[in-house]
Structures are given as structure tokens and as C-alpha cells.
Structure 1
Amino acid sequence: MFEEEKKKLEQRKKSIDKMEVSKEKLHFAVQSGLAKAKKEQALKRVKIIKRSSWSIVIAAILLISFITTISVSPVFANKVASIPGMDRVLSLIQQDKGLTAAVENDYYQPINKSLEKNGITVTLDGVLADNNGLVVFYSVQSKEIDISKLGLKYIQLWSGLHTTNYSFDLGSHSIPLAPEENTDIYSTSEHLWKVKQGKDLSWVVGLKNGDKTEHFRIPFSYKKMDVESKNFIVNKEVKIDGQSLKVKEVIVDPIRAVVKIEENPKNTKKLLARPFDELELVDEKGRKWSAIPGNAYKPLEEGNVWEVPLKESFYFYEPKKLTLTFGKIAAMDKEEAYILIDTESKKFIQLPSQSIFSNLQVKDNRVSFTVNIDKDYDMNMVGFIKFTDADEKEFYIHYEGRTPLYSNYVKGSKTNSPGEGRFEFELPNKSVTTFTNPIRLDLDFYPSWIEEDAEIKIK
């Protein structure tokens, strides 16, 4: 029944055997997991207690959780066995207890529609849907082309011929596909939030194949799921390093949970991008639901309210207690959260007190400067969307490989190396438009955090 899953398990075991850890300890961890899986049909969650070797913990989680995902729930095992093409979806949801529970409760809808072009086959395997969003599962396969040589350029959800419900486009760039080990199949999923069900839907994928792009458009439909969100109204305030935050509510749907947090406009610090990456909900059994890093955002219609999506949903669980913890929060003093540059004098006028910016150059109508940063901080997180002149005119910075979103843009670029990066952007062409010094670049990414032991009881 689970031949494909057994093959994947053996492949994972081979890759783990290559890890430089004690073979005796690794063998013991693997055999213990196998023994438990065979003896207990409804095996409970495996708990890794000892943390003396992180490599051993990883090995145990990879192998034991793979087995227990199938063995822990007869309901889930029966669903997997009865759904065509579910073997490709299995590896994508096995570590997500929320999606696993959604499958058990009949929220997975198989599509299994394929399109083949020039030896490449794209299959829309299925979807998980609720009232607010979709999880789309799709795969790429080829018996003629090395899948790892292909690159993902864009994915889109279309309603009709002209309306894009969702789009992720890398422009001139692409992401290399990474097939399962020893297979010619690449399987993945895409979480689409706040997507309304439309008519004449199509899943559209663009793949880079050598010097050309292959375009795949797969029409499909799915059943609308009538299900109500579970809302936990909180309205509790917490102070972290003197900054006031109010947790307004937690909204839980079958495929996603979201925490809403309001920042006080009188706070002295600005919340930067990715402010709540370490946020966690913990229940009375110690189960955790963590924020999806880099996904917190402020909807325009809600002003100072942030929406923080969690990696997994607990819609089908009934926790008796829920506690919210914050960890480190990305923030810095508002009065320092920007750079001022005078392009005439070629000088920084304003910099943060602990500045990471240096080596300013203004030459040939271009501005550039160096960013010096700790090597552990992701340089890709540091960037600028626009600059504003002294008359509050806005000029958006357009980076190569992306589609310009505004007409009033200038070209920009950045280069990264460990611990250092360099930014460069054009100044507006004076024959077309003028600007007034100094120009201001607001900081949204910066290696600055606040932290304090703080928690809120949700339930």
C-alpha cells in the first residue's frame, strides 16, 4: 500500500547515513523509531528529550516522523491510500499537523490534471481549501530532461482570461527545481491567503528550460468549503521594552491561523519588516504553533494592525490553554530609522547612531554606499523600496529582474557578500524631472531588536 513511501524512507536513510555522527547512536535512534511504529498503530508524537547531539535529533525527526505520520492515525492512513496521486502530496504535509488534520477531515480535493510540453509534464495534484485561502499542490516530471536543470520563473492563479488572483514572478531570474532524491519528480505546494473562489480557474506555471521559458496553464475547479473561522477575541495589551502592543484576536481557519497585533502609534520605536518572526503559540501539552518567518504584514485598511500568519493551523485541535510568546521583535528608534543624503555635498546628513552604512559615493548621476553587517544577518533582507526628496516627491527603486510597479522609478542594484553589501541607484534625470536635496531612505530592514520576557494568555 505504501511502496512509494517506503522508497522515500530508504532514500532518506541513505542520505542520513552520510552524516558525520556516531553510527551506533544513529542506528539506535532509527531502530527505536521503527520498532515503535510497528508495535503501535496509534503511536503518539515522538518526543526528542536528549539534545546532546543536534545531528541525532535531526536524524530521528526525519525518520521517525515520516513513519508516524502514516502510523499515528488510521484515519489519515486510509485517506492516503484512497486518494490518487497522494504519494506526491504526502511528503509536503507530513510535518504539518494542521494540514494533516485537514486531510483527515476531507478538506483535500484531488485534481490530478496534467499538461505536457517538450518532454516536461506539470501536474496539478490537488488543493486544500477553506473560505479564506488555498493550498495548491503541484509537481513537475520529465523522463527526457534532468529536472534539476529546470528553473521556476513564475506561478499564477487565474480567474478567467484576464484576472490574476495570485502571482509570484521572478522576472528574469528563476529558482532551480530540486527533485526528490533518486527520482525525476519535483513536488511542491503554494499557500494562497485571502483568495476568493472564482470562475474558470487556471493554475499557471512558467519554467526556464535552457534559453527559453515553457508556459503551462491547467484549468481546474474545486468545491467551495462552507466553514466558519474560529475567532478568539483577546484585546490584551503587553509592554516590551517600553513599547505597547495589543493582541486583538486570533483567527483560525482549517489551512491557516493568524494572530492580529496592533502597535501603539505613540510608541517611540518603529517596527521593522519581519517584526514577529519568533512569535509562538503554546498549548497546555507543549505543542507549538510558530509564525511563518517573513510573512507578517499590515493590511492598508487596518492601519497599525499587523497580521502574523502561523506555520500550522490548530482548527481541528481543541487546546484547553493557549499562551502567546514574542521572542525578539525587529524594531528601532523612530528618530533613527532613516538615512538622509545630500547629493550635492556627497555626504550623509543623517545616519543611525550604530550605523552600518559607509563609503558614500555620488558619481555619474548615481548614488552608492556600503553596508557592513554581521555575517549571521541575511544581507538579502536589507533593501530600499524608494527614496523621498525634500519636497516629499517619491521615487521608487526598480531592481533588475522585477517588473516596475510604478511609473516614477529609477534603476537600482545591490551586491551581497558575507558581512558586506553595496547598494546603488540612479538619480532622476533632470531633463525629465527634478528633485530637491536632501533625499531620504527609510529603513525597513535593520539589525535591531527589542526583547523582554512577555506572554499573553489567549485561552
Structure 2
Amino acid sequence: MNRNEEYQTLLSELEAVPDGLQDTEQRALTRRIALQKRRRLVLTPILGAAACFTAFVLLVNLSIPFASACGRVPWLRELAKAVAFSPSLSAAVENEYVQPIGETKTEGGITVTVEYVIVDRKQLNIFYTAKFADGLDLSVDYDYGLDEGYGSMAFSGGTQVTCGELKQIELEFVEKDVPSEMNLCFRFYDRKAYMGADWNAFSAEIPEDQAPDYLTEIPFHLEFDPYYTAQGKIIPVDTAFTLDGQRFILTEVELYPTHLRVNMRAEADNTASLTGLDLYLENEYGERFERPGGLTAAGSPESEEGATFWLDSTFFNHGQHLTLYITHARWKDKDAPRVRLDLMEGTAENLPQGVRFLKAERLYGGSWEVTFLKSTREIGDLGNLMACHGFWDEAGNHYDVLQNSSNFGYLDPETGKWIEEEGIISEIFPLRGFYGTVAYLEPTSNRATNFNTPVAIPIK
């Protein structure tokens, strides 16, 4: 039996509603709401793995028809595990929103099967398995065969390959829609050679002339069912609202089976640029829809196109009313001065709210490395806050910052001990090529606003 036959069999099996299903579904909804209210925005990989396992166990145990189907159809159980981290994709699987593919190819002793896709008008999720001989340690890269005409896109997919394990690739289309068909090429490498390549620290890519040779490549031509690629709708809102004295318009909401997008635009005479939001949706039952695990924001509210914020999808939800709640906003005042660092004295002027200058150290060769501490309680979890726009010397010469790191802790310069404080993140980056003593930085944000009473905007 191929994947399409398995899928049709599953559909017919799920048509029968077991006795007592309504009560079970109500209990499941109540428990899911409670779980979602306890979600955290920042998770370590260990916590993420535990959440995936917990979500899958709840899904199988709380939904009688889904648990029954999992017991009879092994591939559905594996797919449920693969998407357990995502409320949107889990809901898609629960609602039979899956296109089976089941195409297999073998090259160079490696067998790849594109098992299924979850796709709509703006997002494509590809699930595949790779099988190969024991003893091989492989990495994989992907060529999607899409030209620049598709505009901005976000790609994600792990490079490490485990034999027989279901893996996911996610493609997020921003301006353009998902195409009706696409070429996808898997390129497999020896893992040691791949990880040892000379990566470009700025673009996170391997320079073409330094890329290791791949062991084999396996191409696929994928065609997507038009029923799935047409799914999605635009909900006009056009509601004006104010955040900390700054004015905005929530123009529309884009609703897709895999995710939801909130589009907004800033008024031209605002005195501060909006650089980040913490927000969520809630229906009339108190069920929350928060940030997804992938792309979370794009664009700028001050631009002509405006800004887009990603949330979990309400597509399969039975609620009739939705309200958007904003709990936290981050700003860059348009007249904010640059941060001045005196590296010899170890002092800083005009630091953003919630940021401390910890230390400056001379590196081998005479340039500097600087460390800042950021409070996520005050400004949110902003990566690359201080180094985003590089830095300047006193003569106005600009220097790029091509690498930086963030940690949930820091080395105390006085005691030499490693310190971990809840809500404190350290940001460390070198001032390469700079040998002076005074540097100027331009942070991405300089202050934040916490709304103890969330700003509420009705959607529908």
C-alpha cells in the first residue's frame, strides 16, 4: 500500500465518531488552553525536546480517533512526533491536512523518501527520511531551485542526518505564494568535512570556492495539490491604536492553516520606531495563539510595506471571535544618541534601558572585545542588540561586527567566577580592526514598554 492509499484509508477510518467523543474533546480543549497559557518564549534544547514529547503524548491520549488512527497507521504517529513542537502543524495533522508524497530515490548508497508535505498558500513543510549504511556520518544541504523572483523567503532544516528518522524542511514565503511545483535537491556530505568548512561568519554560508565536495545529490520534482496551495484568507481590520504615545494601524490579518500573520503600519509623525512586539491572540474561550517556532517578524512598521508578525494559526479553531493583545513593545527613539564607550576607563554613556556595560578587554594584536549584560525582563530577549549596526570611531569611520555571541551567564571580571542570573543575557563581540580607545555603537533598541494591562485590538 502506498502513501496515498494509506491516507485515503485513514480518512475513511476517521469518519466514524466514537461514543463519548464530545466530552473527551471538551476535556482536551480545557487542558490545551491551560497548557498554552503556561508556554514560555525562550526554551533550551532540552526543554524543547521535553515539550515535543509531552505534546505528542497529550495529542495521542486526549484525542480518541487520533490515538486510534496512530495505532493502525505508523506513519501518522511519526508525523505527529515531528510536528509536536508546533501547535499550528499539530492541528493540521489532527484535521487530516496532509498531502502524502511517498516518492523514493536512491543514489550513492543513500535512499531518500519525500514522505508528505503540509502546505498552504504561504508556507511549505516537507517531511523526508534518509537511509544509508551503518558507519556513515552525514550532513545534508538543500537546493530549492527558486530564483530571486520569489523575493524574501525564510528557510529552515537541520543539517544533521539520522538514518531512518523523519526530518522536516520549512520554507516561509513572504511576498510571493507557494508555487504549484518545485525542484528540491538533497546534497549529502561527510559530516566532518561539512562542519569543518570555513563558514562566512557574516552570511552563515560556506563560500562557494571553499565548500567541501558532496558525496551525492538526489533531486526531486514536487507537485502540490492546488486544494492545499489555495488555502488561506485575508481578514481586513484597519483599526488605529496607540502604544506609548506612538500611533499605528493594524491593517489586516492573514490566516493560513500553518500560521497566522498580523500586518501593521506606523504613522509617519511618530517620534520612535517600533523595533519589537510581544503579542498573542485569544478567542472567546480564553485559548491563546502565540509565537510559532520559526519566523516571528519581518519588515518595519515605518516602511511603505509595514511590518508583519507571525503567530500560531487559528485556522482549525472553532472560536468565532479573536482579539489581539500586546503586552510589550521595544523602541528606538528617532533622536536617540549613539552609545559612547570609553574602553580604557570601562565606562559607557547613553546605554539602552536594561543594559549594563560589563567590561572591555584587549585582544591579541591590540583590538578589543566588549561584553554587555541585557535584562530580558526590561527589554525582552533581543539578540545582537548592541552590535547590529556595527560601530564608529571618533573620526566617524565605520567598522562592521561580523560575529557575536549571547549566553545565559557571564564571567565576573572581579571574581573570575561564572555567574548566571535569571533574566540576564550577556552579549559579547570583538571590535576587530579597531585600536583606539573610544567607540560609538548604535543599538537596535534603546527602551521598552511593558503593558501591565495588555493593549486589546478586536480582530473579528
Q: TM-score, normalised by structure 2?
A: 0.65
CA 1:120–1:451: 2 relative to 1, 3 Å: farther
Give 1:295's aligned residue: 296
Match of 1:44 among 10, 25, 40: 25
CA–CA distance in structure 2, aligned partners of residues 450 and 320 of structure 1 = 29
Q: Which residue of 2 aligns with 1:92?
A: 82
2:371 equivalent to 1:370? yes
**Structure 1 residues 103, 351: closer, same or farther in 2, change over 3 A?**
closer
Q: Distance in 2 between matches of 1:135 and 1:38?
A: 31
Does residue 133 of structure 1 match 2:127? no
Q: Which residue of 1 aligns with 2:402?
A: 398
Unaligned runs of 5+ in 2: 2-16, 40-46, 195-213, 411-425
Deviations 1:160-218 (A, max 9, x none): 89999967589xxx8656x6xxx952433424233541765114355652335656443
- Counterpart for residue 68 of structure 1: 62
Find out whether 1:124 has 2:114 as its counterpart: yes
Q: 1:123 to 1:265 in 2, by over 3 A?
A: farther
The corresponding residue for 1:185 is: 165
Q: How does 1:249-260 map to 2 (within 5 A)?
A: 249-260=252-263
Identity %: 17
Q: Which moved more, 1:248-257 or 1:234-243?
A: 234-243
Q: Tell me which of 193, 197, 210 is aligned to 2:179.
A: 197
What's the secondary structure of 1:286's corresponding residue?
A: coil
Q: Residue type of the partner of 2:369?
A: S
Aligned to 1:111: 101
Note if contact 2:370-2:430 (Cα within 8 Å) is conserved in structure 1. yes
Map of 1:322 onto structure 2? 322
Separation in structure 1 between the aligned mates of residue 433 and residue 102 of structure 2, nearest angstrom: 51
Partner SS, residue 158 of structure 1 = coil
Tell me the residue number matched to 1:234.
Answer: 237
Contact 2:348 2:357 in 1 (8 A): no
SS at match of 2:297: coil
Q: Which amino acid aligns with 1:158?
A: G
Residue type matched to 2:165 in 1? I
For residues 149 and 323 of structure 2, the distance between their equivalents in structure 1, rounded to whole angstroms, comes to 44
Kept after mapping to 2: 8 A contact 1:69/1:94: no
CA shift digits 1:284-327 (9 cap, x unpaired)? 2223221236621216995372201112x233445321111112
Q: Give me the CA root mean square deviation.
A: 4.9
SS in 2 for 1:71: helix
Q: Partner amino acid for 2:297?
A: A
The residue number in structure 2 matching 1:6 is none
Q: 1:328 is aligned with what amino acid?
A: H
Partner of 2:211: none
Q: Aligned with 1:255: secondary structure?
A: coil
Counterpart code for 2:170: E
Check whether the contact 1:366–1:425 (CA below 8 A) recurs between aligned residues.
yes
Question: What's the counterpart of residue 12 of structure 1?
Answer: none
- The TM-score, its normalising length taken from structure 1, stands at 0.65
Evaluate the alpha carbon distance shift between residue 144 and residue 119 of structure 1 in structure 2; reply closer, same or farther with a 3 A threshold. farther
**1:68 partner amino acid:** L
Residue pairs, 1:337-356, within 5 angstroms: 338-340=338-340, 348=348, 350-352=350-352, 355-356=355-356
**Aligned-partner SS, 1:90:** helix
Contact 1:124–1:139 (8 Å) recurs in 2: yes
Answer yes or no: is the 8 Å Cα contact 2:273–2:331 preserved in 1.
Answer: yes
Corresponding residue of 1:426: 432
Query: Is residue 2:162 matched to residue 1:158?
Result: no
For the structure 1 residues 379 and 332, does the alpha-carbon distance in structure 2 shift closer, same or farther, using more than 3 Å as the test? closer
With over 3 angstroms needed to count, the CA separation of the structure-2 counterparts of 1:241 and 1:168, relative to structure 1, is same
Residue 403 of structure 1 is matched in structure 2 by: none
Residue 44 of structure 1 aligns to a residue whose secondary structure is helix
Q: 2:245 is aligned with what amino acid? A: G
Q: Over residues 109-147 of structure 1, what are the superposed CA-to-partner deviations in whole Å (9 max), with x where a residue is unaligned?
A: 22223455676544322222223231222234456148x
Are the structure 2 counterparts of residues 215 and 457 from structure 1 closer, same or farther at C-alpha, using a change threshold of 3 Å?
farther
Return 5+ residue gaps in structure 1 as ranges.
2-36, 400-412, 430-435
For 2:262 and 2:148, the matched residues in 1 are separated by: 35
Question: What is the CA deviation profile of residues 31-63 of structure 1, one whole-angstrom value per residue up to 9, with x for unaligned ones?
Answer: xxxxxx986446305123989x999x9797553
Instruction: Label 1:216 to 1:125 Cα distance change in 2 as closer, same or farther (>3 A).
Output: farther
Change (3 A) 1:164 1:354: closer
Q: What is the CA distance between 1:241 and its match in structure 2?
A: 3.0
| Aligned counterpart, 2:309 | 308
1:455 is matched by which residue type in structure 2?
Answer: A
Superposition pairs of residues 24-43 of structure 1, within 5 angstroms: 40-41=20-21, 43=24
Q: Name the SS for the 2:430 alignment partner.
A: strand
Distance of aligned partners of 1:163 and 1:227 in 2 relative to their CA distance in 1, 3 Å threshold:
closer
With over 3 angstroms needed to count, the CA separation of the structure-2 counterparts of 1:346 and 1:244, relative to structure 1, is same
Question: In structure 2, how many angstroms separate the alpha carbons of the residues matched to 1:103 and 1:209?
Answer: 32
CA pair 375-291 structure 1, distance change in 2 beyond 3 A: closer
